[in-house]
Amino acid sequence: MSKQHLIIDNGSYNIKAGFDQGEDSAPQKIYNAITRTKDGLVHIGNDFRMHSNNYSGIQIKRPFEQGHLTSWETEKPIWDYTMDQILPKHEIDPSNIHLTLTELPFQLPQLSSNTDQIVFEEYGFKEYYRCTPASLVPFSVDTTVVDPDFTLVVDAGFNATWIQPMLFQKVYWEGVRKLPVGGNLLNGLLREMISYRHYDISDDPILINTIKESTCFIAKDYNDNLKKKLQNGCQFVLPDFKTTTTGYVVGEGTPKPSEDSQVLTLQDERFTIPETFYHPEIMFDLHGTTASTSVLQNAPIKTLTDLIVSSIMSCPEITRPLLLANICLVGGTTNLPNFKTRLQSELTKELPLTWTVAVHENQNSIPQDEMSWYGGVNLVNEDVIKNISVSKKEYFEHGSNWCQKQFGFKNLS
């Protein structure tokens, strides 16, 4: 039986997992959480969607805290569930599988060692390669548009946004930056604003995420949008579990809300929440305790633009214009409308006029949140994968620190 290649992009919101099957390769998306619905039933992964149509009062336990995989007690049952979804259990033989696994940059070494231990001692995979999600992106880009040797990856996920320069398909660690703004923070801000202005929906995190994904966008010009906030309004019908279980935006082709429907009229909420990428002080303005604190209000908080410029300027001088011309957007939060347009506009204001700013999305028609997974599929077909992987034999021969020595961030001074 030939060796199988399993790629797991272990995101804190969704796991993207699947085997390399050539042109037929496609990941399965598994909700990376254990949930308890208000009827007391516990569900793993995607199961809650099939067993319940009322997500109000749902409790969500995630294995990630602030971007770090801290709880394998929570993660392992979700992985077991994921394996069952990919293929029936009897068809999976871990001792004949090469695993490519992603983790966030600068993961604490002890937490990475816990992962290595699970991979080899609990599952018994034959070979293993651990890397950051962004480091796989150069292997999935459209090389007619993006230079894979000089790529700046902007990965806006659930917990944070990472900026990661890739030089000759290797991470340039001195240039890695983090903005603590991601889908989870936007959900929290939207929950506060809607609960204060309209209805208390704080016990329905699934609904909040649905509202964000279906109504929010990044303003091309924030001040102009504020002046026209009435024109930017939309109506969102809340679930009544008769006509809709998820809610929907009123528009062409949607049913007209009934008289007893609860309808949210959203105006500036739609673009003020995502504006946190460029004005992070918004998160303090929306919180009663911090809104009146002058120290926080006047603090020089870095924006997405600041961090991208800082990242580029920390790279070798000759590579800076090349990185600026090859910015790749990945991660689910980059699906917000106008993300690319606004970022390109902001960077153009900050950098020399002689440099070309080019932001790329939808590479090779791959969804933004699957770019890393498809990069992993392409990488396992490269000869280099043999040299950068660690085998189970090597792990037990050299000890648990061997993986960190092979996969850790090496070139930091």
Lowest-pLDDT range of 91-100, 114-123, 343-352: 91-100
Of 266, 286, 309, the domain-final residue? 266
Looking at the predicted structure, is the pLDDT value of residue 413 above 50? no
pLDDT on residue 200: 86
Looking at the predicted structure, is the pLDDT value of residue 241 above 80? no
Looking at the predicted structure, is the pLDDT value of residue 91 above 70? no
Between the CA of residue 257 and those of 150, 224, 238, what are the distances in Å? Answer: 50, 30, 10
Looking at the predicted structure, is the pLDDT value of residue 409 above 90? no
Same domain, 323 and 401: no
Same domain, 70 and 89: yes
Instruction: State the CATH number of the domain containing residue 337.
Output: 3.30.420.40
Query: Is residue 261 within 8 Å of residue 238, measured between CB atoms?
Result: yes
Q: Please choose, from the candidates 211, 323, 322, the residue with its C-alpha nearest in 3D space to the C-alpha of residue 264.
A: 211
DSSP codes joined into one string, 34-66: EEE-TTS-EEETTHHHHH-S--TT-EEE-SEET
- Structure confidence by residue, pLDDT tens digits, 158-170: 999 999 999 999 9
Same domain, 24 and 122: yes
The verdict on residue 400 lying in a domain is: yes
The verdict on residue 177 lying in a domain is: yes
Looking at the predicted structure, is the pLDDT value of residue 102 above 60? yes
pTM of this structure: 0.91
In the block, tokens 């569930």 appear at 81
**For residue 318, what are the contacts with CB-CB under 8 A and spacing of at least 6?**
none
pLDDT on residue 25: 84
Of 360, 375, 399, the domain-final residue? 360
- Structure confidence by residue, pLDDT tens digits, 373-391: 999 999 998 888 888 999 9
Same domain, 15 and 116: yes
- Structure confidence by residue, pLDDT tens digits, 174-233: 999 999 999 999 999 999 999 888 888 888 899 999 999 999 999 999 999 989 888 888
Provide the β-strand partners of residue 127: 98, 391
Same domain, 29 and 124: yes
Same domain, 161 and 127: no
pLDDT on residue 217: 96
Looking at the predicted structure, is the pLDDT value of residue 411 above 50? no
Identify the DSSP state of 220. S
Radius of gyration of the chain (CA): 22
Torsion of CA 329, 149, 163, 343, to 10 degrees: -40
Number of structural domains the chain divides into? 3
Same domain, 311 and 349: yes
- CA gap 403, 118 in Å, rounded: 12
pLDDT on residue 57: 85
Lowest-pLDDT range of 146-155, 285-294, 313-322: 285-294
Query: Is residue 337 within 8 Å of residue 271, measured between CB atoms?
Result: no
Looking at the predicted structure, is the pLDDT value of residue 412 above 50? no
The verdict on residue 202 lying in a domain is: no
The verdict on residue 372 lying in a domain is: no
Between the CA of residue 221 and those of 154, 179, 301, 339, what are the distances in Å? Answer: 21, 21, 20, 12
Same domain, 123 and 159: no
Domain that holds residue 314: 137-181+299-360
Q: Which two tokens stand for residue 333?
A: 């939060």
pLDDT on residue 312: 96
- CA gap 13, 31 in Å, rounded: 6
Within its chain, how far is the Cα of 233 from the centroid? Answer: 27
